Amino acid sequence: MAGWRWWRRDAPLLSVTADTGRGPVVVMIHGIASSSVTFVHLVPLLEPEHRVITIDILGFGSSPNPPESTYTLDEHVAALDRTIRSLGLRAPFTLVGHSLGSLIAARYAATHRRQLERLVLVSSPIYLPPALLGDRFDRASMGAYFTVYEFLRSNPVFTQRTAAALAAVAPIKNVLELTETNWQPFMLSLQNAIESQTTLADLSRVRVPIDLVFGALDPFLAPAGLAIVQQLRHVRAHRVSGVAHLMRPKLARAVAEVIALPPAPWGASNGE
Q: What is the pLDDT of residues 69-90, one digit of tens each?
A: 999 999 999 999 999 999 999 9
Mean pLDDT of 27-41: 98
pLDDT greater than 60 at residue 4: no
pTM: 0.94
Per residue in 100-119, pLDDT (tens digit) is: 999 999 999 999 989 999 99
Per residue in 176-226, pLDDT (tens digit) is: 999 999 999 999 999 999 999 999 999 999 999 999 999 999 999 999 999
The DSSP secondary structure of the chain, one letter per residue, reads -PPP-TT-S-SPPPPEEEEE--SSEEEEE--TT--GGGGTTTHHHHTTTSEEEEEPPTTSTTS---TT----HHHHHHHHHHHHHHTT--S-EEEEEETHHHHHHHHHHHH-GGGEEEEEEES------GGG--SHHHHHHHHHHHHHHHHHHH-HHHHHHHHHHHHHH-SSTT-----STTHHHHHHHIIIIITT--HHHHHHH--S-EEEEEETT-TT--HHHHHHHHTSTTEEEEEETT--SS--HHHHHHHHHHHHSPPPPTTPPPB-
